[in-house]
Amino acid sequence: MHKPGSNFGTVRTQARFTTHFTALFLSQLGVFLTNGFSLRQSVHFFQALFPKQRPLLAALENQLAAGEELAAALAALGMQTDLTQQIQLAQQHGQLAQCLKQLGRLQQAKQQQLRKLQQLLAYPCVILIFLGILMILVKVIVLPEITGMSTTANKRSLADWVWLGLGMLFLSGLLWMGLQWFLLRQLPLEQRLKKQLHWPIVGPLLKLYHQYCLTFDLALLIGNGLHLEQMLQLTTGLQEASLLSVVGTTTTTRLKQGASLNEIIRESPFIPSELDYLIVNGGQRQQMAREVGMLAQLRYEQLLAALERALIHVQPLIFVVIAVMIVCVYLSILLPLYQMMEGL
For residue range 54-63, list pLDDT tens digits in order: 999 999 999 9
pLDDT at res. 95: 77
Alpha-carbon distance 238 to 41, whole Å?
28
Angle at 220 between CA 215 and CA 190, to 5 degrees: 40
Q: What are phi and psi of 275, to 5 degrees?
A: -65, -30
- Of the pLDDT bands very low, low, confident and very high (cuts 50, 70, 90), residue 33 is very high
Alpha-carbon distance 101 to 224, whole Å?
18
What is the pTM assigned to this prediction? 0.66
pLDDT at res. 249: 86
Domain ranges of the chain: 19-105, 150-343
Alpha-carbon distance 16 to 52, whole Å?
10
Closest by Cα among 252, 277, 248, 246 to 262:
277
Is the pLDDT assigned to residue 45 strictly greater than 90? Answer: yes
- Of the pLDDT bands very low, low, confident and very high (cuts 50, 70, 90), residue 153 is very low
Mean pLDDT of 134-139: 77
pLDDT in tens, 247-266: 888 888 888 898 888 888 88
Share of the chain above pLDDT 70, in %: 84
- Count Cα atoms within 13 angstroms, Cβ side, for 193: 20
pLDDT at res. 225: 72
Q: Are 95 and 81 in contact (CB under 8 A)?
A: no
Q: Are 264 and 246 in contact (CB under 8 A)?
A: no
Q: Are 69 and 88 in contact (CB under 8 A)?
A: yes
Q: What are phi and psi of 91, to 5 degrees?
A: -65, -40
Cα dist from 37 to 34, 45, 89, whole Å:
7, 10, 20
Q: Tell me which DSSP letter residue 142 carries.
A: I
Q: What residues have CB less than 8 Å from 344, skipping those under 6 apart?
A: none
Alpha-carbon distance 39 to 216, whole Å?
22
Cβ count within 10 A of residue 39: 18
Q: Are 104 and 23 in contact (CB under 8 A)?
A: yes
The CA-based dihedral angle spanning residues 263, 277, 251, 236, taken in that order and rounded to the nearest 10 degrees: 180
Share of the chain above pLDDT 90, in %: 11
Angle at 206 between CA 118 and CA 69, to 5 degrees: 95
Q: What residues have CB less than 8 Å from 230, skipping those under 6 apart?
A: 221
Q: Which amino acid is at 292?
A: V
Closest by Cα among 230, 200, 204, 235 to 217:
235
Cα dist from 4 to 22, 85, 115, 145, whole Å:
17, 7, 30, 64
Cα dist from 176 to 133, 166, 196, 291, whole Å:
25, 15, 16, 44
Among 78-87, 88-97, 171-180, top mean pLDDT goes to 171-180
Alpha-carbon distance 159 to 333, whole Å?
7
Alpha-carbon distance 5 to 321, whole Å?
44
Q: Are 252 and 236 in contact (CB under 8 A)?
A: yes
pLDDT in tens, 266-322: 888 998 988 888 876 766 777 888 888 889 889 988 988 888 888 787 778 888 888
Q: What residues have CB less than 8 Å from 13, skipping those under 6 apart?
A: 55, 56, 59, 77
